[in-house]
């Protein structure tokens, strides 16, 4: 039995760069030459498979790939009404978007009952309509969904939105969000014993990279009398380290903050008498 772990990622598209980046930051070295569909890691028993995102859920479910990075929208669409062997293991925090119903600007108050809705996500849309007892017709189309109301193919659409610029450019108004999505790490449910060990290593490392993205290491000096107030202001820090300073009225506080530190927080710290406030990025966290 093959002992190398296979990780499938999107070959070229919105998920590709960040998927490769996450794999590299997890310490899996590989090089992509030309148009190759497979890259072998030279430091771990791992192969990276480059494919279309639509094929990812079935590759993982069939066991042709062991782990994969895919949009949760695609994962749900491809697995919704099917028995499958995939399981989501991590939210990865990038490629955030939503699946929304949108209608032409001049019909933004339309009711969905008895309307024709064009989408590339027929399963998710059908589930939404049936959960909400809406009787509408779903038309499946791959690509250029936003044009369908103008050629008489649909009354409204159900498509991915991130900034909303594409909808606006096509005079469409978002009327209902039906799913919030982001990139997720998925796994085959039935990995062999050999593969489980290496898969767990990859999952833990990816989790460490993801947790580090929002985290900051904060160092500052403070008056001992303000210690409690200052610690309360440090967002998402469990138990800061307090270090005595030569001046007995002062201490240094070091804290790992697992939430973003905004300028406002730094200004509040300063108002409480904190000085030399340093906020540093964190590369990896292993809990
Ligand atoms: P492929 O050639 O692999 O089939 P694709 O054209 O279907 O690619 P992309 O447009 O590259 O897919 O999008 C991949 C994923 O990126 C989407 O499924 C979604 O999870 C995410 N995404 C984030 N923002 C957007 C957006 N504004 N529009 C579309 N997808 C987005
Ligand atoms: Zn696709």
Ligand 1 centroid–CA 17 distance in Å is: 12
Nearest alpha carbon, ligand 1 atom 12 = 13
Q: Would you say 156 and 101 are in contact if contact means Cβ atoms under 8 Å apart? A: yes
Nearest alpha carbon, ligand 1 atom 18 = 71
Neighbouring CB atoms inside 10 A of 24's CB total: 12
The number of the ligand 1 atom at minimal distance from the alpha carbon of 182 is 20
**What pLDDT is attached to residue 244?**
95
Question: Percent of the chain beyond pLDDT 90?
Answer: 88
Please identify every residue whose CB atom is under 5 Å from ligand 2, which is an ion: 53-54
Ligand 1 centroid–CA 15 distance in Å is: 7
For the stretch 109-160, pLDDT in tens is: 899 999 999 999 999 999 999 999 999 999 999 989 999 999 999 999 999 9
Ligand 2 centroid–CA 20 distance in Å is: 17
Which among 187, 219, 186 has a CA at the least distance from the CA of 70?
A: 186
Q: Is the CB of 13 under 6 A from ligand 1?
A: yes
**Nearest listed ligand to the Cα of residue 70:** 1
Sorted by where each starts, the structural domains of the chain and their CATH numbers stand as 5-95+182-212 (3.40.190.10), 97-181 (3.40.190.10), 216-281 (3.30.70.120)
For the stretch 98-118, pLDDT in tens is: 999 999 999 888 999 999 999
**What pLDDT is attached to residue 36?**
84
**Nearest listed ligand to the Cα of residue 145:** 1
For the stretch 54-83, pLDDT in tens is: 999 999 999 999 999 999 999 999 999 889
């Amino acid at each position: 039995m093959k002992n190398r772990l296979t990780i499938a990622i999107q070959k070229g598209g919105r998920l590709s760069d960040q998927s490769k980046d996450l794999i590299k930051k997890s310490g899996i070295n590989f090089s992509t030459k030309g148009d190759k569909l497979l890259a072998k890691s030279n430091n771990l028993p791992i192969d990276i498979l480059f494919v279309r995102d639509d094929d990812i859920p079935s590759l993982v479910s069939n066991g042709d790939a062991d782990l994969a990075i895919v949009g949760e929208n695609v994962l749900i669409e491809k697995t919704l009404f099917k028995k499958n062997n995939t399981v989501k293991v991590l939210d990865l925090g990038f490629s955030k978007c939503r699946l929304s119903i949108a209608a032409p600007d001049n019909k933004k108050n339309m009711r969905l009952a008895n309307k024709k809705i064009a989408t590339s996500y027929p399963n998710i849309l059908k589930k939404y309509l049936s959960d909400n007892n809406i009787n509408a017709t779903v038309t499946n189309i791959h690509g250029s969904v936003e044009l369908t109301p103008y050629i008489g193919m649909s009354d409204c659409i159900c498509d991915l939105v991130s900034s909303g610029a594409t909808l606006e450019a096509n005079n469409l108004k978002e009327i209902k969000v039906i799913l919030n999505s982001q990139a997720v790490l998925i796994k085959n449910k039935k990995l062999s014993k050999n593969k489980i060990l290496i898969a767990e290593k990859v999952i833990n490392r990816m989790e460490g990279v993801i947790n580090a993205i929002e985290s900051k290491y904060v160092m500052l000096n403070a008056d001992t009398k303000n210690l409690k107030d200052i610690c309360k202001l440090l967002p998402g820090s469990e138990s800061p380290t307090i270090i005595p300073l030569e001046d007995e009225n002062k201490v240094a506080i070091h804290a790992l903050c697992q939430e973003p530190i905004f300028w406002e927080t730094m200004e509040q710290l300063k108002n409480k008498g904190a000085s030399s406030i340093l906020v540093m990025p964190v590369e990896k966290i292993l809990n």
